[in-house]
Amino acid sequence: MRIAVIGGTGHIGTFLVPRLVRAGHDVVSLSRGSRAPYADAPEWSDVEQVVADREAEERDGAFGDRIAGLHADVVVDLVCFTLESATTVVERLRGNVGHLVHCGSIWRAGVSHVLPVTEENATPPLGEYGIEKDRIARMLKQETAAGGLVTTSLHPGHISGPGWAPIGPTGNLDPAVWRTLSAGEPLRVPGLGAETMHHVHADDVAQAFELAVTHRDAAAGEDFSVVAPDAFSVRGYAEAAASWFGQQARLESVGWDEFRAGLSEQDGRTSWEHLVRSHVFSIEKARRLLGYAPRYTVGETTLAAVRWLIEHGQIEVTQPLVV
């Protein structure tokens, strides 16, 4: 098939585009052209690359025509964040494309009440990002149910892997956490450290998108959570990360006010947004309908990211990795 991937050089596209080429598809990658994929692969030489500024073209009302003009059988949209943007694409592709596969987010679910969270028992979302992702997923499901465009939405966890910083043990991107753990120094955590986070390797997300394309009939009108087969608690993540450096985690339990006082405003807000949700998701639906079988555990996923950051001098640690 001819497959257009919007946002093809980002986290997911870095792994998805080569997968689709290896599967024999004719692939078009759309991006702003501002960066190369996070990991090189020989398959990129067989990819048609199109430079497009989505925001500018949406303002001009030209983006839908741009995508329709590619004459793709399948469109994979990895960088759509508002209902308005998604609706524009759906209306232009209806009757012209066989399948639209959208990238959502586990943040379409709010705080956890029942674990694991499934596609059916999630609480209402928090914040603009999660609310928009949820609105998009519901619109896509209704579109397909009404006999319109065939759509699927996939909702990844905290995407990680080589090339970028993972959400860390305290729920933020503060690079000092890795130095603290590598040195065996005390790490302040809010409360008991029992809150949870659910990461996923970018290649496992790419696997799920490829499966959705391959199993169109099973994926039609459905939404799927896409995460690692396991999840970390704050203290479990910290203990695992310390062990990568041959250390034991020394965790200091503090209240939220004291915890945030030692962070930037951004890092404090990021920690709260991740930990207040305390997510652990089920992959049973994706496994059953698509055959999703994640290759990487949450520990392997985050370790791969940290290893890359160390090798590229992007974080400071006091001890080398021992794993």
Arithmetic mean of pLDDT over the chain: 96
The backbone torsions φ and ψ at residue 160, rounded to the nearest 5 degrees and listed phi first, read -145, 180
Q: Which helix (H) or strand (E) holds 43?
A: none
What is the mean predicted confidence (pLDDT) over 71-89? Answer: 97
- Residue 34, pLDDT above cutoff 70: no
Higher per-residue pLDDT: 34 or 81: 81
| Helix, coil or strand: residue 248 | coil
| Residue 40 pLDDT | 86
Give 3's strand partners.
27, 74
What is the mean predicted confidence (pLDDT) over 27-50? Answer: 89
Task: Give 191-241 pLDDT, tens digit per residue.
Answer: 999 999 999 999 999 999 999 999 999 999 999 999 999 999 999 999 999
| Residue 33 pLDDT | 77
Whole-model pTM above 0.95?
yes
As a whole number of angstroms, the distance between CA 19 and CA 39 comes to 13
As a whole number of angstroms, the distance between CA 190 and CA 276 comes to 11
Q: Which residues contact 1 (CB under 8 A, 6 or more apart)?
A: 25, 26, 72, 73, 74, 98, 213
User: Residue 17 has which token pair?
Assistant: 């585009």
| Residue 3 pLDDT | 98
| Helix, coil or strand: residue 106 | helix
* Residues above pLDDT 70, as percent of the chain: 100
Residues in the chain: 323
CA distances from 234 to 100, 224, 278, 294 (A): 36, 25, 10, 22
| Residue 32 pLDDT | 87
Q: How far is C-alpha 298 from the geometric centre of its chain's CA atoms?
A: 13
As a whole number of angstroms, the distance between CA 278 and CA 160 comes to 18
The backbone torsions φ and ψ at residue 73, rounded to the nearest 5 degrees and listed phi first, read -80, -35
What is the mean predicted confidence (pLDDT) over 76-90? Answer: 96
Least confident of 29-38, 259-268, 290-299: 29-38
What is the mean predicted confidence (pLDDT) over 43-66? Answer: 93
Q: Write down all domains in the chain, each with its CATH number in brackets.
A: 2-159+199-226 (3.40.50.720), 161-198+230-279+297-311 (3.90.25)
| Residue 39 pLDDT | 84
- Residue 70, pLDDT above cutoff 70: yes
| Residue 37 pLDDT | 86
- Residue 143, pLDDT above cutoff 90: yes
Peptide bond into 116 cis (omega under 30): yes
CA-closest candidate to residue 9, choices 56, 17, 1 = 17
Is the separation of the CB atoms in 22 and 43 below 8 Å?
Answer: yes
User: Residue 94 has which token pair?
Assistant: 């209806």
For 271, how many CA atoms within 13 A lie in the half-sphere containing its CB?
A: 23
- Residue 38, pLDDT above cutoff 90: no
Rg (CA), the chain: 20
As a whole number of angstroms, the distance between CA 174 and CA 285 comes to 34
| Residue 108 pLDDT | 98
Task: Give 109-126 pLDDT, tens digit per residue.
Answer: 999 999 999 999 999 999
What amino acid occupies position 249? Answer: A
Instruction: List the alpha helices (DSSP H) in the chain.
Output: 11-22, 54-59, 63-68, 83-93, 127-145, 176-182, 202-214, 216-219, 234-244, 256-261, 265-275, 284-290, 298-311
Is the separation of the CB atoms in 51 and 35 below 8 Å?
Answer: no
Give the distance between the most distant pair of CA atoms in the chain.
59
What amino acid occupies position 18? Answer: P
As a whole number of angstroms, the distance between CA 268 and CA 262 comes to 8
| Residue 36 pLDDT | 80
